[in-house]
Amino acid sequence: MAAARHAPVTAPAAPPALALIELLFFAYRDFVGDADEVLQRYGFGRAHHRVLHFVNRNPGMTVAELLAVLKITKQSLGRVLRDLVEQGFIDARAGTRDRRQRLLHVTERGRGLARELMALQAARIERALAETGPEGAEIATAFLRAMVEPGDRPLVARLVGLDGVAAGG
């Protein structure tokens, strides 16, 4: 068990950036782990979770948009999206304006699962915010937004709904 002997050797007073490198790892590890048990009930993995989440939050999303968000290849996406459609969690309708597009929507079943998973992760975040203090939410949001690659920030802002967007096409 005892590992305290090597703590001070290289990290006598870690600058904030070094601490944050490791805290991001631990926080994300536990954050995504929250969903695992629920996902396993349906034979899904974390990739399914990500797809379901973004489709739930952005109904009418196209496959191309999902690829830009997840930054994976269409083959990787294809597999998990097929699983979700076949098992009735996501519904893909041909676009009306452009019939090549598949506009993705969650079904009632999909919405239920997405909500259950969101609730788990939101609970962890809310507990953490309560421990952090009153400005925690605003500053944590600002920090994480600033961590995103600048070129992706417009897309992220739109998806997350933090800009003052009022309407669309």
Partner DNA sequence: GCATTATGTCAACATGACTGACGTAATTGT
Partner DNA sequence: ACAATTACGTCAGTCATGTTGACATAATGC
In the region spanning residues 58 to 77, those forming contacts with DNA, defined by CB under 7 A, are: 62-64, 70-77
Closest C-alpha to 64, from 104, 109, 117: 104
User: Could you tell me where the DSSP H helices lie in 42-166?
Assistant: 46-57, 63-70, 74-86, 108-132, 136-147, 153-160
Contact by Cβ (8 Å): 117, 136: no
Provide the pairing of β-strand 102-106 with 90-94.
antiparallel
Of 1-30, binders to DNA (CB under 7 A) are 1
Of 41-70, binders to a copy of itself (CB under 8 A) are 50, 53, 56-62, 64-65
Of 109-168, binders to DNA (CB under 7 A) are none
Q: Indicate which single residue of 10, 26, 100, 147 sits in contact with DNA (rule: CB under 7 A).
A: 100
Least distance (Å) between residue 42 CB and DNA: 10
Question: What is residue 61's DSSP assignment?
Answer: B
Determine the interface stretch with DNA among 95-103, 135-143, 150-158, 159-167 (rule: CB under 7 A): 95-103
Q: Quick one: 46 or 115, whose CB is closer to DNA? A: 46
